[in-house]
Amino acid sequence: MKVFDLHCDALLKLHDDRKRSFTNHPALDVNLERLKEGNVSLQVFAIFVEPEIPSDEKFQTALEQIDLFHREVVGKHDKVKKISQWNDIHQLKEDEIGAMLSLEGADAFGNDLTKLRTLYQLGVKSVGLTWNNANLCADGLGEPRAGGLTELGFEVVALNNEHKVWTDVSHLSIRSFWDVLETAKYPIASHSNSKAICSHRRNLDDEQAKAIFRKNGLMGMVYSPPFVNNTEVATTDDLIKHIDHLCSIGGVEHIALGSDFDGVSTFVKDLDHSGKYQILIEELLKRFKEEEVRGFAYKNVLNCLPK
């Protein structure tokens, strides 16, 4: 069964060490060899500019990661196709892999919306306003004051709406989350689990999850054990508890997969890189109807794309 994955940090690893090859470097949880092995048909690649990068170098760092995406991920592999428009996902052939850009944190463009529009033009189809820290747009969940969106943040959401770009809530403070849900046409949580099952700060409570479902959004299940069961050791059974619960509150058509591969240091057992995806699919098929599993794997994403 084919799989869509809404979040990985492979570009960060490629940027940290330019000698790594996207084709098959073993340090990459997500590489071409592993995507093929796991039957991943769409992979979203996050642009993540680390907090310690000086402000005047952040946009350049984002551009460098985008350059690596175009040269190393797409440019060297005929069967990897850049997703520039949402319809490109529907046009993928059976032997092709779609590659799409997302932005994890508005720090990359500061308060310059021309830079944001440029990122759209370069292929960014999803924007998360923050990582854990606060920035000029919003407070992330690591900011003690726990504020919401700024005027600039609301402008960014409006631009996302205008350009039919997802607004990703996965790292937002609670107040920022609700500000986004009130204004975003296309909200998603690319890599967040259920707080009812695991009360990690990065997970969403039932009211947050249901708000995303009502807006025809998506929740991508993340495979980092602390987000799964608050330990460093988790199994696929533990992960499936999140899916089961979210289904029980109306999420069966809105659950997706968002591994966070290459952004985590510990893994769910038997799910430590994208080549292992079919192990998860097999476990899901033991517990859910095949059509539901197809939804989690890829169909829900197809049905929730911006229109």
Determine the pLDDT at residue 118: 99
CA distance 144 to 92: 44
CA distance 230 to 284: 22
Contacts 24+ apart (CB under 8 A), 79-82: 80/32, 82/123
- Kindly report whether the global pTM for this prediction surpasses the value 0.85: yes
pLDDT tens digits for range 233-288: 999 999 999 999 999 999 999 999 999 999 999 999 999 999 999 999 999 999 99
Q: Which of 156, 90, 163, 89 is nearest to 121 (CA)?
A: 163
pLDDT tens digits for range 49-90: 999 999 999 999 999 999 999 999 999 999 999 999 999 999
What is Dmax (Cα atoms) for the chain?
Answer: 51
Is 67 exposed, middle or buried (CB count within 10 Å of its CB: 0-12, 13-18, 19+)? middle
pLDDT band at 43 (very low <50, low <70, confident <90, very high): very high
Determine the pLDDT at residue 35: 99
pLDDT tens digits for range 92-111: 999 999 999 999 999 999 99
pLDDT band at 170 (very low <50, low <70, confident <90, very high): very high
Reported as half-sphere exposure (CB side, CA atoms, 13 A), residue 72 has a value of 24
Determine the pLDDT at residue 127: 99
pLDDT tens digits for range 126-148: 999 999 999 999 999 999 999 99
Q: Which residues contact 91 (CB under 8 A, 6 or more apart)?
A: none
Tokens of 287: 């517990």
Write the CATH number of the domain with boundaries 3-303.
3.20.20.140
pLDDT tens digits for range 179-223: 999 999 999 999 999 999 999 999 999 999 999 999 999 999 999
Q: Averaged over 35-46, what is the pLDDT? A: 99
Determine the pLDDT at residue 3: 99
Tokens of 267: 């893994």
Determine the pLDDT at residue 188: 99
Determine the pLDDT at residue 228: 98
Q: How many CB atoms within 10 Å of residue 55?
A: 11
Determine the pLDDT at residue 299: 99
Cα torsion through 167, 293, 43, 87, rounded to 10 = -70
Determine the pLDDT at residue 301: 99
Q: Which residues contact 87 (CB under 8 A, 6 or more apart)?
A: none
Is 279 exposed, middle or buried (CB count within 10 Å of its CB: 0-12, 13-18, 19+)? middle
The DSSP line for 167-219 is: EE-TTB-HHHHHHHHHH-SSEEETT--BTTT---TTSB-HHHHHHHHHTT-EE
